[in-house]
Structure 1
């Protein structure tokens, strides 16, 4: 008995050593490219200065205080929340409806699936240039409105309409990825649940509400969180289409960080704003992980 216990302990110890040996290359690169940059970002947020001969100076939490009292930062944060919420909702509803439709046997189903996924693999910079052309004052959208007898809109120079253009582009870009995720989630729902619902006399809407949606709950959480993170890190469409204008109305957190760091060379302040963005992303990931744990 003692020999068996000693053997089990030695086996466990050897397996643990082997596991750490196999994990060590991944942990090394994870520390080098993720943990160390995050730690250095937090350190940089506690300094002022730039990467010049004069170097940086430690100032503690003053950069975070500057964020708290900055009207521009709060406007950018409000823009980011508006941009994210207004993007996430249609990025869930539209792909979900399309996934339910394309999960059935309909003509050209494979072609439609491919067509909807194409925006996800196109260059956001190239697409942004195309959308800027579409929505310029004398662009095709305004010409279409004029042909219908409607007054054109100054889309990109309006504090009201510039953000909806960015939201529409982001929803269009995210649609294909979310569609594929929802289709995979629908395939994981057992057919027996739908058969049982039909035996109970459920119609199409009742099957969707009481079978499809509960079966897609983990998928819905995943899509919501990934879309929110994708939207929070949006930069290209803002840079290409509006440049944060007009009057800072389309400036979002990532573009604001870029301006502070590479236009004003205020690296410590930009690092503090980036740390806030990182904290928001970690909260979203924590929400996703805990939600999955509750489902399990």
Structure 2
């Protein structure tokens, strides 16, 4: 008769045959893992997948809250979207706003990160200075800039002091959307700046020292060493910035309300108008589906292109 105890996952059974314990160590570990991810999974189901499915469902219906009607219309809302005379101008404003915001935000954030990645006294103050607008309320930030960009506001006052007659920034089609882009860039550039700064500080200094000994200049070291090393962070920042630029609402609502004309009537604000001002909830859901498709397509394109310019994916 063996003096060794039964294995950990086995207990004595009938006629001397071992009976496996149901609560094995592997099952306990698996249960712990499922419990850890359960809040995130449940949150994604309740707050992402279910609302997304409901949006698709509502886009196939016409729901008039004021009249109390809700009936199935099939693809009529999508046909209306294709025939809507405002669709081209809305998509054009959305594309211009998103492209301008992404290019300026990423370029300025990268420049600031390079300038602030220095070991000099007092540099922490400037890092805090550029990051502080990120924590300011979007509505409060937009209201302040609304006053500054008025015809007789602070910006034109400064320009007038140096002999320049500034335009009415928010009431002219050529300057209104540019003004909103700049307001948003100043608001959020600090976030990407911090991401780039953290990535740059993670680059091994030995690589720069070796390149410098080989005669590489500052620009060569930045382009050949720093940029490849921080390329995963650039990918992350670009995905976040593009998705965020397509969902800008508060700035347009506070500063221009989509005007003048449709110059700043981006897709999210047009969606709001149709659903909550004109009470066309079915058509608003259709615009939401269009927005989801655009964000998804751009994200997938960036994710596929990562193999060409992200160092760790090559």
TM-score normalised to structure 2 length: 0.86
Distance 1:25 1:99 in 2: 35
Going from structure 1 to structure 2, the CA distance change for 1:192 and 1:291 (only over 3 Å counts) comes to: farther
Counterpart pick for 1:225 among 231, 239, 242: 239
Report what 2:106 is aligned to.
92
Q: Is contact 2:176–2:256 with CA below 8 Å preserved after alignment?
A: yes
Map 1:57-76; keep pairs closer than 5 Å. Answer: 57-76=71-90
* Partner of residue 135 from structure 1, selected from 149, 159, 171: 149
Q: Does 1:205 align with 2:185?
A: no
Q: Which runs of 5+ in 2 are unaligned?
A: 1-6, 8-19
2:248 aligned to which of 234, 254, 261: 234
Partner of 1:263: 277
Please give the residue correspondences for 1:6-17 in structure 2 after superposition, counting only pairs within 5 Å. 16=30
Distance 1:26 1:90, change over 3 A: closer
CA contact (8 A) 2:134 2:191 kept: yes
- Counterpart of 1:274 (choices 284, 288, 291) is 288
> 1: distance between equivalents of 2:72 and 2:158?
56
Q: Say whether residues 1:115 and 2:129 are aligned partners.
A: yes
SS in 2 for 1:155: coil
Q: Secondary structure at the match of 2:173?
A: coil
Q: Distance in 2 between matches of 1:39 and 1:55?
A: 21
Separation in structure 2 between the aligned mates of residue 161 and residue 21 of structure 1, nearest angstrom: 52
**Deviation, structure 1 residue 269:** 0.5
- Structure 1 unaligned spans of 5+: none
Q: Is the 1:222–1:288 contact (alpha carbons within 8 Å) kept by the matching residues of 2?
A: no
Q: Which has the higher helix share?
A: 1
Task: Find the aligned partners of 2:217 and 2:130 in 1 and give their Cα distance.
Answer: 28
For the 8 Å contact 2:102–2:242, the answer to whether it is kept is yes
Cα deviations by residue, 1:92-117 (Å, 9 ceiling, x for unpaired):
11111111111111231111111110
| Alpha-carbon offset, residue 55 of structure 1 | 3.1
Matched, 1:23 2:24: no
Question: Could you tell me how far apart the structure 2 residues matched to 1:101 and 1:54 are?
Answer: 59
1:102 matches 2:116: yes
Report the 3-state secondary structure (helix = DSSP H, G, I; strand = E; otherwise coil) of the residue aligned with 2:174: coil
Distance 1:181 1:60, change over 3 A: same
Contact 1:80-1:232 within 8 A present in 2 as well? yes
8 Å Cα contact 1:170-1:231 kept in structure 2: no
Change over 3 Å in CA distance of 1:140–1:21 after alignment to 2: closer
1:124 aligns with 2:138: yes
Match of 1:38 among 52, 69, 73: 52
CA RMSD of superposed structures (Å): 2.4
Shift of 1:198: 0.7
Count matched residues.
292
TM-score by length of 1: 0.91
Residues 269 and 150 (structure 1), Cα distance of their counterparts in 2 relative to 1, 3 Å cut: same
Q: Which structure has the larger Rg over C-alpha atoms?
A: 2
